[in-house]
Chains A and B, each alone.
Chain A
């Protein structure tokens, strides 16, 4: 059986608890990823983007008005899918060869 290889079948996602701490992170992701689609379920939010999703520290810091350590998003993170490329400024999820952190 061949596997569909279109945008629907190449989505990365990230999911957070639906709470005050996560809200600026979620808002920043929506701002930085124009193709993002949000699904709300009780107590959680899931954000899907075809191929690549970026979480940008500078966007979050603008919203909260103070420094933000990207790794602290672990506290409200629920789950994710995609190859990870992580620096102090960006957290990227991606499928495809460019997404591999080689």
Chain B
């Protein structure tokens, strides 16, 4: 007689329970040395509820199908010279930044989850981390594969690993992940699965990837959505870990709150790069950073924290600062990229008139009062044949490593800088959020490898000036760095389009 069919829950429990055992040759605490020192108390790992009850068999089946679809589209994009149908070659700056800054994070995530997947003594959590480690490796690979097509046609794609080690702006994402990977397993999962993936990555993979579609980049659209469908599993792991830990012991609440505060702020600072991609690097616009923040944080994020309030968890510290800053940070970050682009692996430009109007429309008084005059002054300097580049290294925040372009939330004309002394040494920060993180863990953050400081100490091939540093970066003006309109990318783009500049004249398609 046929057995009754198992429910999803039963199937999954059969798969994940009983995979492990109580060790006898060595005590469990020696076999799993890392999952107690953070102070998180777990009374019963069997209470772990698997968020997506995906069996390994189903996992392989659906992942294989995603891959087949993805590679079919990538092949077709490449065979049909899809790069010619992009809205404008300026768009490539966003994709260079993705390959240089985001793809390495996928690989870091793979390593991180492979590591913590070994460290949790609960088998359910281990299986979820193992699947995620596999997903993240897939993301790194599919992204490199998709971008390899652009490497045949544009600068900035051929030395991403070299840039990851040397480029100042890439220390922002790198330090974010190294901080997470240098933490205990519970902090790692809270930082990456919960704070970053659940709370923040929708901002990258939804509006930006939709923008990629709008700008003709089918390759990025396809891998982006394919990756985000894995992310929805990861996000669910994040919220499950948080709820599980909070339910296990009341002593866990303040520890988790501190992790959430820290990683919300660190993730938010990292996303300044994504916001700038949306507002400035998409020639055709889908949604502004401020609008995306409103939807994905102020609506969806608030809903999440309303739900978590029953465990005694409150909104992340300084979230109201982040919401006030949404009107400013992308314009400020673009100003840094615009002025520092000779020492990067991408090109920048002044917004076109239609983009200035779009920014006025989306940011209103804030843009017209504080940022339009800035871009107009840059424009006058360009016209006079004196395109402005900074020739000094900036103050970089000791915690988030973002050049401190941030201003006081109540005074956008005044630079926001915070100070702290520890063991007789001075440290500087961009914000109260970053200062608090340092004050909690000065022993860790005093070791930060801050690019301008390392350059001045002689650890960038002896470079002291920005041009010397750019040479060490192997990013010559024209082919890799500098203004877009004097770049090889722009010249090639004109050549491929019969001399015609395809810059859109409106934000809409």
With an 8 A cutoff between CB atoms, is A64 at the interface?
no
Point out the residues of chain B lying under 8 angstroms from A4, CB to CB: 302
Does A71 contact B306, Cβ atoms closer than 8 Å?
A: no
Main secondary structure of the interface of B (DSSP, over half): helix
**A78 and B300 alpha carbons, distance in the complex (Å):** 15
With an 8 A cutoff between CB atoms, is A86 at the interface?
yes
The 8 A CB mask of B308-336 against A (1 = contact, 0 = none) is 01100001000010000000000000000
Point out the residues of chain A lying under 8 angstroms from B235, CB to CB: 79-81
Point out the residues of chain A lying under 8 angstroms from B236, CB to CB: 80, 84
Does A79 contact B228, Cβ atoms closer than 8 Å?
A: yes
Main secondary structure of the interface of A (DSSP, over half): mixed
With an 8 A cutoff between CB atoms, is B243 at the interface?
yes
Does B65 contact A75, Cβ atoms closer than 8 Å?
A: yes
**A60 and B293 alpha carbons, distance in the complex (Å):** 33
**A82 and B51 alpha carbons, distance in the complex (Å):** 11
Does A81 contact B303, Cβ atoms closer than 8 Å?
A: yes
Which chain A residue shows the least CB distance to B63? Answer: A74
Given B49, B62, B225, B305, which contacts A101 in the complex, CB threshold below 8 Å? B49
With an 8 A cutoff between CB atoms, is B221 at the interface?
yes
> CB within 8 Å of B: which of A50-102?
71-72, 74-84, 86-88, 95-97, 99-102
**A95 and B323 alpha carbons, distance in the complex (Å):** 23
Does A75 contact B229, Cβ atoms closer than 8 Å?
A: yes
**A86 and B50 alpha carbons, distance in the complex (Å):** 10
Contact A83/B205 with A1-B320, A43-B225, A78-B229 known, Cβ cut-off 8 Å: no
Does B303 contact A10, Cβ atoms closer than 8 Å?
A: yes
Contact A41/B210 with A71-B62, A78-B232, A86-B8 known, Cβ cut-off 8 Å: yes
Given A9, A44, A81, A95, which contacts B225 in the complex, CB threshold below 8 Å? A44
**A61 and B95 alpha carbons, distance in the complex (Å):** 39
Point out the residues of chain B lying under 8 angstroms from A75, CB to CB: 62, 65-66, 69, 229
Given A1, A13, A88, A102, which contacts B300 in the complex, CB threshold below 8 Å? A13
- Chain B interface size band reads 35 or more
Query: How many residue pairs, one in A and one in B, have C-beta atoms under 8 Å apart?
Result: 111
**A77 and B193 alpha carbons, distance in the complex (Å):** 18
Point out the residues of chain B lying under 8 angstroms from A1, CB to CB: 315, 320
With an 8 A cutoff between CB atoms, is A17 at the interface?
yes
Does B228 contact A11, Cβ atoms closer than 8 Å?
A: no
Does B206 contact A44, Cβ atoms closer than 8 Å?
A: yes
**A11 and B307 alpha carbons, distance in the complex (Å):** 11
Point out the residues of chain A lying under 8 angstroms from B310, CB to CB: 97
Given A11, A13, A71, which contacts B54 in the complex, CB threshold below 8 Å? A71
Does B51 contact A84, Cβ atoms closer than 8 Å?
A: yes
With an 8 A cutoff between CB atoms, is B287 at the interface?
yes
Does B211 contact A88, Cβ atoms closer than 8 Å?
A: no
> CB within 8 Å of B: which of A1-55?
1, 3-5, 8-13, 15, 17, 41-44, 46
In angstroms, how far is the closest chain A Cβ from the Cβ of B131?
12
Does A41 contact B307, Cβ atoms closer than 8 Å?
A: no
**A1 and B315 alpha carbons, distance in the complex (Å):** 9
Given A12, A46, A77, A88, which contacts B7 in the complex, CB threshold below 8 Å? A88
Point out the residues of chain B lying under 8 angstroms from A88, CB to CB: 7-8
Q: What are the 10 A-B residue pairs with the smallest beta carbon separation, nearest first?
A: A43-B213, A42-B214, A9-B302, A42-B213, A41-B210, A77-B229, A95-B307, A42-B210, A78-B228, A74-B62
28 A-B residue pairs with CB within 8 Å: A3-B302, A3-B315, A4-B302, A8-B299, A9-B299, A9-B302, A12-B303, A42-B211, A43-B214, A71-B58, A74-B54, A74-B66, A74-B232, A75-B69, A76-B229, A78-B225, A79-B205, A79-B232, A81-B300, A81-B303, A84-B236, A86-B52, A87-B7, A95-B304, A97-B310, A99-B307, A101-B51, A102-B49
Q: Which A residues fall within an 8 A CB radius of B?
A: 1, 3-5, 8-13, 15, 17, 41-44, 46, 71-72, 74-84, 86-88, 95-97, 99-102
